Structure 1
Amino acid sequence: DFDKLRKGQVGEAGFRTCMGTLNVRFSEEEITSLINKYKCTNGLINYADFCKNIDTVFSDKGDPTAVIENSKSSANFTDAEKDIVISLLAAIRTEIKNKRILIKPQLEDYDRTKSCHITAEQFRRVLKELKLIPPDESMFQLLLRKYFDKGNVREINYFKFCADIDRPEDIFPQYVPKNPSQEERYLQGQLRDAGSTYFQTATSGLDVINNRFMQKRVETSNNPSDIEERLQALVVMKRVRIEEFFFDFDKLRKGQVGEAGFRTCMGTLNVRFSEEEITSLINKYKCTNGLINYADFCKNIDTVFSDKGDPTAVIENSKSSANFTDAEKDIVISLLAAIRTEIKNKRILIKPQLEDYDRTKSCHITAEQFRRVLKELKLIPPDESMFQLLLRKYFDKGNVREINYFKFCADIDRPEDIFPQYVPKNPSQEERYLQGQLRDAGSTYFQTATSGLDVINNRFMQKRVETSNNPSDIEERLQALVVMKRVRIEEFFFDFDKLRK
């Protein structure tokens, strides 16, 4: 708007006006430092170079996620301080686990604006009430320094604190603690979108009963064909035109995009893939020039809609299933027939019994819960090997812990009587709260190193820690803003540069 001739230059007043319309608060020193950096010999501001530096985040080498993460303020820690913080969080985690404390609701009670931040005194009060306060004041000060990330020493990011006490080893990226804890995490079941549902090896000899105690998860396959089959099932069920996701990264419609654009498009499909699965797809469709041939990829996905394709079969084959011999199939069929006869004779309602264990309404329960229900109803098979065959029949999520009781009920009862569709009489409009930082929360950078910052006493001595005036820091924050809000920053300067210099 300030550059009618598109010369790439605007006056200082126009530059200040455009920076003010970005809805980001800058101090006078920060604006002046940017003006001095991009000022030309004729007195105008070269906004073209400024916008070019901001837009480097969208290049093939740029990482938008890393830019957003690096734009947040964080304190500096020595190796000794890192060990203290990790051991402190590990101790808090152990105490919470032993006493079964729900700490997040206690912290949320002080967060009236749903900003994921509370004051340091409120944070101290919660820890003191739950008897989780560190024994030493210096250790508590280290804990505070870890979680003030809004450019001041008053607001604590309790949301990040709650996430770190589950895995204290992950709070410092690319850092290995000197005394790592030996505790292992066992995931209870697999989420519906938690990656591949294919087994790497044959499941005919898989020991379902004992396997769950011997390893966390059965390894999944990273065959690109398996991933494409799952995508075909998604395209059929949701009627997604997958090719349109790539058009924003291919303006000339050449059928090729960069690796970063390919990863971004795959992320917008609302299907979670592991890094190995994405890498295998990239290697399969990578061209000699380094770009990804998404045209061939989309063509293979869309073959499900051809005359020879069978969408119903694609959806059914996308589910994981165990391998059975002919003799095992006969045993399973006769076992289900016996259970069906017993239910019919005794008029047992088995579905409500299984539903009581399904709190999340995912149509899956654990193998032990399934065993408990059958045992209570006196429907348990007489032989353990027969029960293992029954389990293998109904685990379809790529693990040996979750049983699809919905499919089990459909096999022994009328499917139309299972889970009737429910329509609420008075649907409520749930209110949504945005989690995160306020739009006008100011700078998140500190002027000096924070290793020696006194968090406890500083809040009473001055209103705010001075922010940095380094132009590189300002540009990183603007890059994060451009990524999150999809702002075309160059268009704000056109009014002040009529000749487009």
Structure 2
Amino acid sequence: MATATVAEIENNIRTIAQTNRVRISEFFLDFDKLRSGYVTETQFFRTLWLNLGVKMTPGEEKLMAAKYDINRNGRLNYRVFCDNIEKGFDPNDVRRDPVTQKVIPEEFLGTQRSVRPLSPKSESRLEELLKHMGQFYKYHGINLRTCYEDFDRHHIGKVTESQFYRNFPGPADVDSEDMYLLVMKYRDPGNPGLVVYLNLHHDLVAIAQKMALADTSLSDITNVTDYLVPEPEADPTLQQSFDKIRVAVFKNGVRTPEFFRDHDKLRSGIITENQFVCGLSLAIGKEAQLSRNEIQKIAEFYKTPDGRVRYKEFCDMMENAFNIPDLDKKPTESVVRPPRGALSRTLKGMTPEEEERVVKVVNEIADQVAKRRLMMYQYFKDFDRGRGYTRVITKTQFGRLLHFLSLNVTSEDFKLLCRKFEDPATGDVNYPAFVQTVDREFVGFTMNDAEQPMEEGKSSKSKSPTEMTMDISQVNIEDLLARIRHHVLTNRLRVAEYFQDYDTLRSGSISKSRFRRGLALLGLSKIGHHDLTDPQFTVLCKYYENTQKPDQVVWVRFLWDLESVFTQPNLEKMPTYRVPAQEIFRVPKPGTMDWRYASEEHQAIFEEAMERLRQRANQRRVLAKPVFQDFDRHNNGYVTQGQFRQCLTMLELHASDPEMAAIEAKFCNDTGFNYIAFLAELQPPEKQQLRYLERLQDMRATNQKKKLPELNICTDFESLIAKLKTKVVRERIRVLEFMRDYDKLRTGRMLKTSFRRALDLCKFELKESEVAILEDKYKSFQQPEYVEYLKFSDEMESVFTTKELEKAPMLDVEQFKPPVEWEQNQLLPEAEEMAKRCMDRLAEKVRKHRMQLFPLFEDYDRVHNGTVSRSQFRRVLSELDLGSLVSDQEFNLIYEKFDVKVGGKDDVNYIGFCDMIYDLAKFEWRKP
């Protein structure tokens, strides 16, 4: 009882899920963060209630919890529940049909058709009624769903009872009792007065499918041979007729139902025998060359007991020639393709005497075409009257062209040619077949399995080039692979990129044509680096042939054989394996002589000749390479043997014939004479010394950072603070603005690294030792790696005002005055005395002559900072005739006394110098 109740609950949930088109598993994932497949009972039932509207009773919840609480820990396995609800088929159960494993809910819209089920008599009557309605709808092509969609504005599959009665499509013999029975069966118990027409539609579809399966005469055709072979094998003539019709329908694109449908007004698929014969003759009789007897046999095959013909089955077979209907729903079916040449235009058969005469005429025309080198196809193509080139011309046009090309034949021979190359469908002349027969170099049109008379006394059936035997005994697979490896290694090619696009399923094998195409892209073709001949390609295909599919090549094996020049596969599994050097995969060009196997006499002649040529070239200092390059138009390092001898003559490097033959044997191959290798032995270049390690050591030594000695630093805190305050006053710097951004919480502290960064932003230009002094002074005692920047900022701000001045209104504020830089300079007493005597001499002369000192100094002070360089200072005194009064020692003392630092350079403060001279000369302030 419990199992049945759980099954009913699951069926109800399954119906609701299908009606709403939802996947229940998506709603449980929000509660299962770890994707364990389990949720709590509360989460399980809450999900069903909120998302599906399923509210269970306590008893039903206990039954569901007992079934899905697998581990008995209070957590329900929602994955098993979702698998049961969204049940498809078990892929591991191969003994049962997947269709029988599916659980499909009966009610599409989730309704219960009646609270009280109908009586067995009413159920049987309803079943008969549905079968009758299904046959009626199928015969008349009626779809019940479309009849009620106009009333169903919300597309919920339901209409009112009045709307159901009003638009009921029949049949006419359904009385009011039957209609009432339908309403009682398909009414919606949740919404009184509504009828679920969509459930009725699906029941009719299901009954129609069961009736179709039960009907043996119109059973489902699931095999492609049912379309292609409708006649038993007892009558081969009928089978040939079907093949001809199928090919003609496929080639001409004939829609066969169009020729029978007008005779079938009721669309029953059956017409009379005379109508079938007329329609078939009109549709494909001429194109397929059907005789009256063949058409009659086909009509007899599809004839019914009442004398009519089932044309629908015939049309289904013809419409699906070489194809399967609904192939997208049958992925496992294999389509039978037409045999090679079945769709080509064949030539007519003739008597042996006529064939012999046609062969003689065609050979005569072919000889004239070969001698005169005529290109015939273009002349015939101009007369082709079809837009898509029908490849046929009229017999009159054919005769005119033969006369125009001076290929005159007798009238009887012309008639034979027209009969031989006549197109069966149109009766015109198939000119591509004629051109291909008489012009052996014409390959623009291919006829497969077509008779082509070529030579007298021989069979007229031509052989394709692929069927001709080729000699592959001279091809060595090892030498060929070595040559391809050299090509891949030299050009650094990734072989997989040229083949993997052809292997969409990543099966590791592709067809031979695609393999040839990939090799051409790789550079193995006539226009590539290496000409891969047909025998070589055949050997490659046989070597890498797929044993299961002989028409394919295992390109993955070919890939690993080539990429072994770079590395080995699965190298991580063999840590001790040593990859061979890439140089062993390099091979010389074809035709190169292996000098190791040359005779001793040959080698002696070569060495003696090269030594003599080398000495002469060194004595005369010959520059030989430009002479060879003049003959090397392709810049590939090769010239011909004649050009090589000519170059030696131009360079006056003479050699005898045996010596010349020995040199050519060493450096010649199929490409030509390798003059690059010859010049490397004739004038070997100096070997470059490997100095990379030495250069690397020099660069490392150069890039090693060494700390430079600090100059002009402040060694104590007082002098450093005075220096900073002076800079703050002169440049009007607000130190707090640069530091508060590093203290987001306004704690008054910052990291030492941030403190250094803030000092750099202030442009204080402090040295490492000076920054260390500030960090030690303002270090935080609570956190040693922090600095109390607020105290430092207050100290710097004190040069402008006193902090919290509002608390001391009577305090006298003294503004910080930065000291004059040159006044801080101190000299020794003896030096100070000597400098004072020098200044007195200069002041005495300035007083006597009333000299102006500032103008000349200002001319050199372009930035007006009150300083000049020492050379400029000395030049100004010389121009004022004061330089003769000062010795070199006194100049140095003046430099030291008025020295100021500007950009790390020692300059002279000429303003202080001039003011002191004017004071000593007793001039008034700023006069003269």
The TM-score bracket by the shorter chain reads: 0.3 to 0.5
Q: Which has the higher contact order (CA 8 A, sep 6+)?
A: 1
Normalised by the size of structure 1, how large is the TM-score? 0.43
Q: How high is the TM-score relative to the length of structure 2? A: 0.26
**Higher Cα radius of gyration:** 2
